[in-house]
Amino acid sequence: MRVAFVFGWQMSRKIEGTMSSPVISGATAHPSPASSPAPAAEVIGVAKSFGAVQALRAVDLTLYPGETHALLGENGAGKSTLVKILAGIHLPDEGEIRISGQAVTLRSPLEARAHGIAVIHQHPTLFPDLDVAENIFMGRQPRGRFGQIDWSAMRAEVDRLLAPLGVGFDSSTPVQGLAIADQQLVEIAKALSLDARILIMDEPTASLSAREVERLFAIVRRLRDHGVAILFVSHRLEEVFALADRITIFRDGARVITAPASDLTLEATIQHMVGRQLQTLFPKEPAEIGDVVLRVEQLTRAGVFHDVSFELRRGEILGLFGLIGAGRTEVARVLFGVDRADSGTIHLDGKQVSLTSPAVALQLGIGYVPEDRHRQGLLLPFPIASNVTLPILPRLSRLGIVNRPKERDLAAEFARRLQVKAAGVEQAVAALSGGNQQKVVLAKWLAANPRVLILDEPTRGIDIGTKAEVHHLISRLAVQGLAILLISSELPEILGMADRVLVMHEGRITGIFDRDEADQERIMYAATGQARIPA
Amino acid sequence: MTTLQPSAQSRSARLAAVAGSGQFLRLLARIREAGLLIALAAIVVIVTVQAPRFLQISNLRQILLSVSILAIVAVGQTLVVLTRNVDLSVASSVGLVAYVVRDLLRDHPDIGIPAAIAAGLLIGALLGAINGALVTIGGVPAIVATLGTLYVYRGVVFAIGGGELITASEVPQGFRDIALSRPWGIPTPIIVAAAVALVFAYLLRSTRFGRELYAVGSSPEAARLVGLSVGRRVFTAFVLCGLLCGLAGVLWGARFGSIDARAATGIELQVIAAVVLGGVNIFGGSGTVLGAVLGAILLGTIQNALIILRLNQFWLQAISGAAILLAVTADALITRRVRRSLVVRLRR
C-alpha cells in the first residue's frame, strides 16, 4: 500500500501541474532558510504539561521569514499545544519564545497578535451574525472624529485586502452564509490587515475541496514570497510536500526531526511520525462478496443530486469518492432517511423500501456514521455506555425503563471489540481522543446490528496510528458480511479499502471502477467532471 | 486549462451565488422590521374601519404614551439579550425605583426634583450592576441570577413600603409634570423614549462598544480571541439596562396617580415579548433597537385596539402571545426557505 501513498504524492504534483492557474507556480524560487539570518520566531526548550500529561518536552522550532514550515505528528504529539502556546492561549511551563530575536511572553491571543502572530484554526472562530468587515476589524474599527465607527473606511480597507485573494464575497457579506474555506480567507484577510509576520495554520485544509486547497495554497505561497513565516499543521502528507519548504516532526511531545522537505521521503516522514515500521496502512482483507443487499435506482433530490444508481453487496466495501460539494453526504442522508428523495427507488434485499426517517432506516438495518461526529454522532458530555446504546434503547428497555446493567455490559462488549481506549464505559465521551470517539460512534451503530453501514469520512482528523486501526476494523466488518458504503475524500483510503469505487461530481455519478481498474488519475478525472483521460 | 473550462465556469457561478447570498441574508435581517410595520399597518386599517376614532391624534398619543415606558425598558433588555443574557428583574427594578423616588420626594421634598431623578437613575444602575456582577463574577446563568433578583428587588420594595400607598398629592407637582407635561403637544415620556431609542440605536450601530456587544453575543469564544473582555461587556450591558430601568422607574413614579409596592409588577414579560417580537435573537448576536421599539409599539397598539373595539381585555395576553409565535415562526420558516433555496442554487 506504500505504492498508493507514493503515488498520491506524485498525483498532487500532477494536480498542481494541470490545475493551477498561472499565478500559482509550484516551485517558486525563494530565499533558502539558511540564507535568512534573522529568524522570525524561535521556540527554545519549550515544555508544557497538563496535569500528569507531558504534552511538550523541551521542543525547539525556528521559523524564518519567507518559509513555509510544516509541523507534523500524530494526534497527541504536541502540535496543537505548540500552536496554542504561540497563539497566546497557553503559557509554556519552561523554555522561551523569541520573536525577531526578542524574548517575549505571550499571555493572551491579543499579545500574540501584537507580536505579529496570526493563527488560523481548523474551524475559524468568527462572529456568524456580523459581516466580513466587522469580523476583520472587531475591537479595532477605524473611527471618525466623534469616536464613531467609520464604516466606509472600514469597508474600503477590507475590500482592498480581499481584492488580491480572488474571493467571491465582499466586505459586507454576513459570515453566516460563508463556507469554511471562505471563512478561512476572512481569517487570512484579518492576518493581512494586522500585517502579521508569522502565520500559523492549524489543519486549514481538513474541510476544503481540492480546488479550495489550491486557492488557499496559492495565497499562502504569495504571503511566503512577501516574507511571512508560515507554520502549517496538517495530516494530509501530500499537501505538506506540495507546500512546505521545511518539515518538523513531533512524536510524543518531543521533536524528532527538522529537515528540508526535499530531504524527506513520504515513507521516512511517516516512519518518523509513528516511530515504527509501517506495515500496511490500508489493510483491506479479502472478504467473500455475496448477494446484493442495497440497490439504488435513479435516486434524485432536486438541485442536490441526480440519477444516482448503484448496488451494494454483502461483504463489499463500496467507496464513494468526490470533491466537497459533490453530493456524497447528501446521498447518504437520503439512504438513512434524514432527507427525502424527490424520485428514484431504494431496494433492500430486493424489496423496495421507503425510508421516511432514521428510525425506519435503522429498523431496516441501515446504520450511518456521520461525518461531523461532534455534532451529529455523539453526545459528548454523556458516558460511552449511553452513547453506544442510544439507537437500541427500546431493545434494552422494558416498559420504557432502561436496563442499566444490560446497557453497560453491551457497551463494554463493543468497547472491547473495537479497542476503545478509556477508563471504562462510564467515562464521558468528551474526554476521549478523536480516534477513540470515532470508535464509539462505530460501536453505537454496530450495537444496532445493521446489514448496511454507511461511513462518512470515518478517519477525518484522526492520526495515522488510529486510522490504521479504524481501517482494520472496517475491513473486518466487511469480512463478517456487512455491506459498507465508505465515503471518503482521501484517495489513498478509497483505493486501499474499496472493492469498487463510485465517483460523484456535482451531484452525478461520473464513474464506477472495480478495484483493479481504479487508479488515482481515473478517479480524479471523474471527480473533476472530465469525461476521460486525455491521451 | 481548457479542459477545466466547465468547472471553472460553475465555480464562478457559485461564487456569484455566494456573493448574492450576502445581500439575501442582509435583506432577511430587514424582513422582521418590515413585517412588524406591515402588521402594524394592517391592525391600524382593520381597527380604523371598525372604529374611526382609533386614528385620532389623541388616541395615537395615548398608544405611544402607554408604550413609552415599556419601550425604554425594552431598549435596555435588548442590550442584555444581544450578549446572550436576559434580565428578568427589570419590572422589579422599575417598581423599586418608582416607589423609592416617590418615597424620597414625599419625605424629603426639599432635596429637589433633579436630585430625586439622579437618585432613581443611580439606584437603577446599581441594581443592574448587581445583576451584572452575579452573572459575570458569580458565574450564575443570567436567567437564574435575575430570577433571584426579581424576587429580591420586589421584596426590598415591600420592606420599604409595606402596604403603603403614596398618592399623587403627596409629591410635588413639579415631579409629576415630568410625565404629564406636553412640550409641543407631545407627552414627555414619548420624547424621552424616542431620545433613548435614538441614542442607543446610534450606540449599537456606530460605536465600538455597540458592535462589541453583538460580537460577544454572536460568539463569546471569537470575542475572547480578538481580545475583548466578554465579562466586562456583559456587565456594562446589565448596568445600562439597570440605568434605563431607573429612567423608566422615574417616569412610572411621575406618571401614575398613586403607587404602591406592586408598581410595574409583571411588565418584564411584556418587555421580553416586545424584544423577541422585534426580532432580537434570544440567543444573542443579532437584533436592533428599532425592532425592539417596534415590537413594543405593536403590543401597545394591539392592547389599545382591544379597548377601542370593546373586546375583552383578557384577550390581550393570548393575542400578544399569538403575535409573538406568529412572528417568530414566520421568521424561522422564511429563513429556512431562503437557506434551502440558496443551497439548491449553490449546488446547481
Contact residues, B window 203-222, toward A, CB-based 8 Å cutoff:
206-208, 211-212, 214-215, 217-219, 221-222
Element (H, E) at B15: helix B5-50
Q: Do A303 and B219 touch (CB under 8 A)?
A: no
* Cβ burial, residue B15 (10 Å; 0-12/13-18/19+): middle
Closest CA–CA distance from residue B12 to any residue of chain A (Å): 8
Distances (CA, A) of B327 to B314, B320, B324: 21, 11, 5
Q: Could you give the 3-state DSSP secondary structure of residue A525?
A: helix
Distances (CA, A) of B323 to B70, B81, B178, B277, B306: 17, 20, 33, 8, 14
Residues in chain B with CB shorter than 8 Å from the CB of A304 are 343-344, 347
Closest CA–CA distance from residue B83 to any residue of chain A (Å): 12
Decide: A65 and A197 in contact? Cβ < 8 Å.
yes
* Option in B3, B10, B208 nearest A149 (CB): B208
Q: How do A401-402 and A397-398 pair as beta strands?
A: antiparallel
Cell triple for residue A10? 506524485
How many angstroms separate the CA atoms of B167 and B206, rounded? 43
Decide: A461 and A488 in contact? Cβ < 8 Å.
no
Q: Find the helix packing angle between B188-206 and B208-218, rounded to 10°.
A: 70
Spacing of C-alpha B48 from chain mean position: 27
Q: Do A127 and B22 touch (CB under 8 A)?
A: no
pLDDT score recorded for residue A373: 63
Closest CA–CA distance from residue A173 to any residue of chain B (Å): 4
How many angstroms separate the CA atoms of B194 and B197, rounded? 5
DSSP per residue, A108-173: SHHHHHHTTEEEE-SS----TTSBHHHHHHTT---B-TTS-B-HHHHHHHHHHHHGGGT-S--TTS
Which residues, in sequence order, are bridge partners of residue A102?
A99
Residues in chain A with CB shorter than 8 Å from the CB of B219 are 125-128
Alpha-carbon dihedral angle through residues A470, A472, A477, A478, given to the nearest 10 degrees: 120
pLDDT score recorded for residue A461: 66
pLDDT score recorded for residue A204: 82
- Position with higher pLDDT, B176 vs A279: B176
Element (H, E) at A513: strand A508-514
Segments of chain B with pLDDT less than 70: 1-32, 331, 334-348
- Range A308-314 average pLDDT: 93
pLDDT score recorded for residue B281: 84
Cβ contacts of residue B327 below 8 Å, gap of 6+? B32, B35, B36, B39, B276, B277, B279
Q: Do B7 and A529 touch (CB under 8 A)?
A: yes
Decide: A219 and A137 in contact? Cβ < 8 Å.
no
Alpha-carbon dihedral angle through residues A435, A436, A441, A444, given to the nearest 10 degrees: 150
Residue A380 pLDDT > 80: no
How many angstroms separate the CA atoms of A157 and A141, rounded? 11
How many angstroms separate the CA atoms of B107 and A32, rounded? 84
DSSP per residue, A373-426: IIIII--TTSBHHHHHHGGGHHHHEETTEE-HHHHHHHHHHHHHHTT--SS-TT
How many angstroms separate the CA atoms of A258 and A34, rounded? 13
- Range A14-25 average pLDDT: 34
Contact residues, B window 299-328, toward A, CB-based 8 Å cutoff:
none
Neighbours of B108 (CB within 10 A): 11
Which ipTM was obtained for this model? Answer: 0.79
Q: Do B215 and A138 touch (CB under 8 A)?
A: yes
Cell triple for residue B325? 409565535
Closest CA–CA distance from residue B184 to any residue of chain A (Å): 30
pLDDT score recorded for residue A441: 80
* Cβ burial, residue B85 (10 Å; 0-12/13-18/19+): buried
Q: What b/e string do you get for A180-190 counting C-beta neighbours within 10 Å, with b at 16 or more?
A: bbbbbbbbbbb
Sign of the four-CA dihedral B207, B208, B212, B215: positive
Closest CA to B139 of B228, B235, B223: B235
Could you report the per-residue pLDDT of A200-217, keeping only the tens digit for each? 998 887 667 778 888 888
pLDDT score recorded for residue B13: 46
Closest residue of A to B29, CA-based? A129
Determine the residue type at B147.
L
How many angstroms separate the CA atoms of A19 and A209, rounded? 13
Neighbours of B144 (CB within 10 A): 12
What A355-361 contacts at long range (C-beta under 8 Å, 24+ apart), as own/partner pairs, is A361/A335, A361/A336, A361/A337
Closest CA–CA distance from residue A125 to any residue of chain B (Å): 5
Cell triple for residue A147? 469616536
- Percent of chain A exceeding pLDDT 90 equals 20
How many angstroms separate the CA atoms of B260 and B51, rounded? 35
Domains and their CATH numbers in chain A: 1-23+38-116+197-278 (3.40.50.300), 123-190 (no CATH), 284-365+450-535 (3.40.50.300), 378-447 (no CATH)
3-class secondary structure per residue, A317-344: EEEEEECCCCCHHHHHHHHCCCCCCCEE
Residue A372 pLDDT > 60: yes
Q: How do A246-251 and A68-72 pair as beta strands?
A: parallel
Could you report the per-residue pLDDT of A480-522, keeping only the tens digit for each? 889 999 998 777 788 888 999 999 887 889 889 988 888 777 7
Mean of the per-residue pLDDT values for chain A?
A: 80
Decide: B79 and B72 in contact? Cβ < 8 Å.
no
| Count of CB pairs separated by less than 8 Å, A with B | 122
Closest CA–CA distance from residue A287 to any residue of chain B (Å): 37
* Option in B3, B218, B221 nearest A534 (CB): B3
- Percent of chain A exceeding pLDDT 70 equals 85
Any idea where the domains of chain B sit in the sequence?
A: 35-314
Q: Do B7 and A127 touch (CB under 8 A)?
A: no
Stretch among A97-101, A265-269, B59-63 having the lowest mean pLDDT: A265-269
Q: What b/e string do you get for A14-35 counting C-beta neighbours within 10 Å, with b at 16 or more?
A: ebbeebbeeebeeeeeeeebee
Q: Could you give the 3-state DSSP secondary structure of residue A487?
A: strand
A443-447, A528-532, B155-159 — which one is most confidently predicted on average?
B155-159
Q: Do B26 and A174 touch (CB under 8 A)?
A: yes
Q: Do A125 and B207 touch (CB under 8 A)?
A: no
Out of 3.40.50, 3.30.70, 1.10.3470, 1.10.1160, the CATH code matching B35-314 is 1.10.3470
Contact residues, B window 168-197, toward A, CB-based 8 Å cutoff:
none
Decide: B30 and A185 in contact? Cβ < 8 Å.
no
How many angstroms separate the CA atoms of B320 and B309, rounded? 16
A45-49, A101-105, A194-198, B234-238 — which one is most confidently predicted on average?
B234-238
